[in-house]
């Protein structure tokens, strides 16, 4: 007989609670080969991430990739690991804590915010269990990916709904699929660029997004188009001419064609032919991580300067900045409107308007 997760001796006078699940990609538990292998095995086994026939991919993954890549990736993680742990987890947890305080004060005192990772710990299933035990009946899921892709946001949807199938009382669900063109998101990015340029000087702005196999685009994934829209809106906000900014895609693996232009190749071209002074921003990363710190701020910077580039600045991700907390807070507030009592709905609407969220 199928049994569903419930609450023994449940008190039916328990008030409903709103829960917010933030989801980021994930990280190994430690920067060693064994931990990285375990993490990569989970990550690269997701059919949303690698769209190959399962039998073929299993041979490649276990026969080649997991024999070679963990040691190399562990070395990369060692370059960025902090005393507190993985930068992605540290930055994501700080953002979660600040957003929790913000929503408790501005939206509803009973709003509970938790962090889950698609791969590794804290897992999505563990985060959802926290919310279930807290009697959450209305759930907002916010993947920390401004741009929708089946390989990221789609994977989060799969993970969440597979867990909710086992709940006796399935909560009302709001799933935020993207916010790539949200005015508050664009404004937050623009503020971070301006603040950086005030200290380091204005340079050519390169927007580096995580890559994706080109065939995903050809099969209808909107990620590529949304990245370019973010770039266009940000350039307009900063009043940049077409020669003052560029878009590229990083972190490709394997031999098939990915979204172009590739960040590493474009930077080497810049180093040879100009612009030789660049500021790199990674708008698709909500929190700094291996791909922004080790790949961009360390490795790509070194290669660029060795190849003849004159100046290379990395502009940090939004992380737990006040702008980031506010934009996510107003995004969540808009989606929670229908669930609030009328009096609180008015307050939340006023908040969103004050923050520039309403259109």
Q: Are residues 216 and 162 in the same domain?
A: no
How many Å apart are CA 304 and CA 278, to the nearest integer? Answer: 10
- Residues 81-137 have pLDDT tens digits of 999 999 999 999 999 999 999 999 887 787 999 999 999 999 999 999 999 999 999
Place of tokens 């008190």: 11
Q: Is residue 214 part of a domain?
A: yes
Write out pLDDT tens, residues 190-214.
Answer: 999 999 999 999 999 999 999 999 9
Contact 222, 150 (CB under 8 A): no
**Would you say 216 and 153 are in contact if contact means Cβ atoms under 8 Å apart?**
no
152 and 209 fall within a common domain:
no
Average pLDDT, the chain: 93
Q: Are residues 231 and 303 in the same domain?
A: yes
Owning domain of residue 93: 17-31+81-178+323-354
CB 278 within 8 A of CB 311: yes
For residue 14, give the 3-state DSSP assignment: coil
Candidates 112, 138, 155, 149; CA nearest to 26 is 155
Please choose, from the candidates 173, 169, 171, the residue with its C-alpha nearest in 3D space to the C-alpha of residue 10: 169
Please report the DSSP string for 258-288 in residue order.
BSSSBHHHHHHHHHHHS--EEEEE-TT-SS-
Whether 47 is in a domain gets the answer no
Range in 54-63, 92-101, 347-356 the model is least confident about: 347-356
CA 64 to chain CA centroid, Å, is 28
Rounded to 10°, the helix 87-106/322-336 angle is 50
Q: Is residue 36 part of a domain?
A: no
**Residue 170 and residue 197 in one domain:** no
Q: What spatial distance separates the first Cα and last Cα of the chain, rounded to whole Å?
A: 50
DSSP string covering 133-156: HTTEEEEEEEES-SS--TTTHHHH
**Rounded Cα–Cα distance for residues 70 and 72 (Å):** 5
DSSP string spanning 40-60?
HHHHHT-TTT--S-HHHHHHH
Lowest mean pLDDT among 83-92, 105-114, 180-189, 276-285: 105-114
Tell me the C-alpha distance between 163 and 65, whole Å.
29
Please, which pLDDT band fits residue 354 given cuts at 50, 70 and 90?
Answer: very low
Three-state secondary-structure class, residue 319: coil
Assess contact for 333 and 105: CB atoms under 8 A: no
Q: How far is CA 335 from CA 65, 104, 129, 318, 338, in A?
A: 41, 15, 22, 22, 7
Same domain (yes/no): 97, 21: yes
DSSP string for residues in 102-132 = HHHHHT-TT-EEEEEEEEESSBHHHHHHHHH
Same domain, 310 and 200: yes
Q: For residue 88, tell me if it sits in a domain.
A: yes
Residue 299 lies in a domain: yes
Residue 355 has pLDDT above 80, yes or no: no
Contact between 282 and 291 under an 8 Å Cβ cutoff? The reply is yes
What is the CATH classification number for the domain harbouring 264?
A: 3.40.50.1400
Same domain, residue pair 163 and 299: no
Do 310 and 327 fall within a single domain? no
| Predicted pLDDT at 340 | 74
The answer to whether residues 197 and 284 belong to one domain is yes
| Secondary structure of residue 336 in the 3-state scheme | helix
For residue range 307-318, what is the model confidence (pLDDT) as tens digits? 999 999 999 999
**Is the same domain home to 152 and 25?**
yes
Say if residues 356 and 184 touch (Cβ distance below 8 Å). yes
Residue 105 contacts residue 122 (beta carbons within 8 Å): no
Tokens of 277: 């002074």
Give the number of other Cβ atoms within 10 Å of residue 345's Cβ. 15
pLDDT digit string (tens) for 290-301? Answer: 999 999 999 999
How many structural domains does the chain have? 2
Same domain, yes or no: 229 and 328 = no
**Domain-embedded: residue 258:** yes
**Residue 90 domain-assigned?**
yes
Percentage of residues of the chain with pLDDT beyond 90: 87
- Report yes or no on 306 lying in a domain: yes
**The tokens 């399935």 sit on which residue?**
170
Q: What backbone phi and psi angles, to 5 degrees, belong to 264?
A: -65, -40
Q: How far apart are CA 224 and CA 281, in angstroms?
A: 17
- Is residue 127 located within the same domain as residue 199? no
């Amino acid at each position: 007989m199928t049994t569903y997760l419930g609450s023994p001796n449940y008190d039916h006078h328990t008030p409903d609670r709103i829960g917010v699940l933030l989801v980021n990609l994930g990280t190994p538990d430690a920067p060693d080969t064994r931990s990285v292998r375990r993490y990569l095995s989970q990550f690269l086994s997701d059919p949303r991430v690698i769209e190959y026939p399962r039998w073929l991919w299993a041979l490649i993954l276990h026969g080649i990739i997991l024999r070679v890549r963990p040691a190399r990736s562990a070395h990369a993680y060692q370059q960025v690991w902090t005393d507190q742990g993985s930068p992605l987890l540290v930055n994501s947890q700080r953002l979660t804590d600040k957003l929790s305080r913000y929503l408790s004060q501005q939206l509803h005192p009973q709003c509970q915010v938790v962090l889950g990772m698609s791969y590794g710990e804290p897992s999505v299933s563990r985060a959802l269990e926290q919310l279930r035990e807290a009697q959450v009946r209305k759930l907002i899921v916010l993947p920390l990916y401004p741009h929708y892709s089946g390989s990221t946001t789609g994977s989060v949807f799969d993970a969440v709904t597979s867990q909710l199938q086992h709940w006796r009382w399935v909560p009302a669900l709001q799933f935020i699929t993207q916010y790539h063109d949200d005015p508050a998101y664009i404004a937050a990015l623009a503020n971070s660029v301006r603040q950086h340029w005030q200290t380091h000087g204005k340079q050519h702005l390169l927007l580096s997004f995580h890559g994706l196999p080109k065939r995903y685009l050809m099969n209808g994934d909107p990620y590529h188009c949304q990245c370019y829209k973010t770039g266009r809106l940000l350039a307009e906000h900063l009043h940049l001419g077409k020669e003052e900014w560029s878009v590229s895609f990083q972190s490709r693996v394997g031999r098939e064609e990915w979204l172009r232009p590739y960040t590493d190749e474009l930077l080497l071209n810049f180093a040879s032919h100009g612009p030789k002074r660049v500021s790199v921003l990674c708008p698709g990363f909500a929190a700094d991580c291996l791909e922004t710190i080790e790949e961009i701020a360390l490795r790509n910077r070194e290669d660029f300067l060795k190849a003849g580039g004159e100046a290379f600045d990395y502009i940090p991700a939004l992380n737990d900045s006040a702008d980031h907390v506010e934009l996510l807070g107003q995004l969540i507030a808009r989606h929670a409107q229908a669930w609030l009592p009328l009096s609180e709905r008015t307050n939340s609407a006023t908040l969103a308007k004050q923050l520039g969220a309403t259109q």
